[in-house]
Chain A
Amino acid sequence: DAGVIQSPRHEVTEMGQEVTLRCKPISGHDYLFWYRQTMMRGLELLIYFNNNVPIDDSGMPEDRFSAKMPNASFSTLKIQPSEPRDSAVYFCASGRQEPYNEQFFGPGTRLTVL
């Protein structure tokens, strides 16, 4: 299995630009999670999907952030417009229903907003 795939691995953009992060979960997994990791706040859950439906987006920081999952094999996290404080590593993770309540993480996208 290829694992969770994220692209791009690194993104450098200027303030005000739109940023789109992409994730391909492990085939057969019905949960997908987006996390943000910063030095100050650690790992934060932004949003998660079950069977392509958003279940909880209470961690999404602002309306500038949006996430979609148009099908079982693809999800995007979009920031528009981006700001320097959005600089972080964004992880996507996927998982299956119980009994194996375990999340498999992708390699992350390191976002730098100048």
Chain B
Amino acid sequence: AQSVSQHNHHVILSEAASLELGCNYSYGGTVNLFWYVQYPGQHLQLLLKYFSGDPLVKGIKGFEAEFIKSKFSFNLRKPSVQWSDTAEYFCAVSGAGSYQLTFGKGTKLSVIP
């Protein structure tokens, strides 16, 4: 069975600090990888996704993620966070050709002005 591990439960940063959220997955095959964001009181929105090709994926709002196959990782990064990035971030994985997403437990990011 596939699983996703997000190492940090809660991250607190000051504005302009750099962000890296860890995500490791367990799956015995080709994967599709996703990062979703949930702003306070809102629904999940897709930040970025990786299917194939360039392992460095750029998403919306200045976020990017790097797929490192050898480490089974898909870490999310942003060079300079803003207060508006305060939200919960979810990493998710599906097997290639499968529509079932398995989510990590999420990382709550608090950005202090």
Interface SS, A side:
strand
Which of chain A's residues 58-114 have a Cβ closer than 8 Å to chain B?
91, 93, 95, 98-99, 101-108
Task: Judge whether A56 is part of the interface by a CB distance below 8 angstroms.
Answer: yes
Across the interface, B103 reaches (CB within 8 A) one of A43, A98, A102, A104, namely: A43
Question: Within the assembled complex, what's the spacing in Å between the Cα atoms of A56 and B100?
Answer: 9
Residues of B close to A101: CB separation below 8 A: 32, 49, 51, 94, 99
| The 3 residue pairs across chains A and B that have the minimum distance between CB atoms | A43-B103, A42-B105, A105-B44
Give how many A residues have a beta carbon under 8 Å from the other chain's beta carbons: 22
CB distance from B97 to the nearest CB of A (A): 7
Give how many B residues have a beta carbon under 8 Å from the other chain's beta carbons: 21
Q: Are A42 and B101 in contact, with the CB atoms below 8 A?
A: no
Q: Are A95 and B45 in contact, with the CB atoms below 8 A?
A: no
Question: Within the assembled complex, what's the spacing in Å between the Cα atoms of A105 and B90?
Answer: 13
